[in-house]
Amino acid sequence: MKHPIALVTLALSSTLVLAACPDDTASDEFAIHDQPMSSGNMNAERYDHPRDGGAPPAGIAVADNPTYPLGIEVILMADHMPGTDGATARISSAFDTTTYSVSYTPAGGEPITDHRWIVPEELVDPGEAPLPEGTEVILDAEHMQGMKGAEATSTTQQKKRCTWPIWPLVV
């Protein structure tokens, strides 16, 4: 074998499939593809995320002992936005928080169902986490046009340790 280190690296990286927000249980150590976000009239023009995910929300709790090392290069395994599935990224931060999917109607737009992921720091006066499913909230996030200030309903919630931006990934 001419390149044993390259083969070992390839073998290891192809077997490790991780989630950006793993459950705190050891049984959920490996990732699955994220379920697609369903929506009314979604298209690439609606997304306002900076290419690097932007700054994390103010006040989000930084993880003391992140599950995945900061600075590690990863491959995204989600299709939340055009071009994310299979894209290369670098983990720049990690947080302990609760994540929510929400359904809402953006200003001047079609209803969006099951938008993933929102954290409490992206809600106006959310109250204490976790919020029960069906809780009505006001969005302070600007992931998409017309999102900020929209009334929303939480559809799911999970206590997670997350990277930012919040996307499933593979190392």
Q: What is the pTM of this model?
A: 0.65
The answer regarding whether domain 4-170 maps to CATH 2.30.30.1210 reads: yes
150, two tokens: 């929209």
Q: Compute and round to an integer the Cα radius of gyration of the chain.
A: 17
Of 57, 140, 156, the closest CA to residue 103 belongs to: 156
- Tens of pLDDT along the chain (171 residues)? 454 444 333 333 333 333 344 444 332 332 323 333 333 334 434 555 565 667 888 888 888 888 778 888 888 887 766 777 888 888 888 888 888 999 999 998 999 999 888 999 999 999 888 999 999 999 999 888 899 999 999 998 888 777 666 555 444
Domain ranges for the chain: 4-170
Q: What pLDDT shows up at residue 52? A: 60
User: What is the Cα–Cα distance from 45 to 67, expressed in whole angstroms?
Assistant: 33
Going by their DSSP bridges, the two strands 151-163 and 136-139 should be labelled as antiparallel
The answer to whether the beta carbons of residues 47 and 54 sit under 8 Å apart is: no
Q: Specify the amino acid at residue 159.
A: K
